[in-house]
């Protein structure tokens, strides 16, 4: 295929690259915590967080980012599955108006944290 200019070739390459980029797995989600929440010995204050993970799973390292700063990291299992929930948080009550994070479930994937306990409560957010 012959192109009339280098710009045309570059534009065509960009058009074909965009769909490939959009097919890449999403490695971040958002969550809102209403109580102080413990994950991997780190306490997260109530608020909005962006969760960013490294790896394609099942074992990933999750960073909890608030105001563009990583405030905690924790290992988790990334599970690809369809769900009716979007941001459902599964916790165990830790007393003193705080909770331990077990998992978070979104529409197409979930993160399961290593400190999963036997008594759980689910709060869809």
Whole-number pLDDT of residue 2: 57
How many Å separate Cα 32 from the centre of its chain?
12
H/E segment holding residue 6: helix 6-22
pLDDT digits (tens, 9 = 90+) for 14-64: 545 444 443 456 799 999 999 999 998 899 999 999 999 998 889 999 999
What contacts 35, CB < 8 A, 6 or more positions away? 46, 97, 98, 99
Whole-number pLDDT of residue 56: 81
Residue scoring higher pLDDT (20 or 109): 109
Structure pTM?
0.70
DSSP 9: H
Give me the chain's average pLDDT, please: 79
Whole-number pLDDT of residue 118: 37
State the Cα–Cα distance between residues 105 and 125, nearest whole angstrom. 10
Residue scoring higher pLDDT (104 or 15): 104
Residue scoring higher pLDDT (116 or 51): 51
């Amino acid at each position: 295929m012959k192109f009339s200019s280098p710009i045309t070739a570059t534009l065509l390459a960009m058009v074909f690259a965009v769909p490939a980029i959009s097919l890449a797995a999403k490695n971040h989600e958002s969550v809102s915590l209403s109580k102080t929440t413990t994950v991997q010995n780190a306490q997260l204050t109530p608020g909005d967080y962006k969760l960013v993970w490294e790896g394609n799973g099942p074992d990933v390292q999750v960073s909890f980012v608030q105001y563009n700063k990583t405030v905690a990291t924790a290992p988790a299992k990334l599970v690809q599955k369809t769900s009716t929930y979007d941001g459902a948080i599964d916790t165990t009550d830790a007393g003193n108006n705080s909770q331990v994070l077990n998992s978070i479930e979104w529409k197409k994937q979930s993160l399961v944290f290593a400190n999963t306990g036997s008594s759980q409560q689910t709060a869809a957010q």
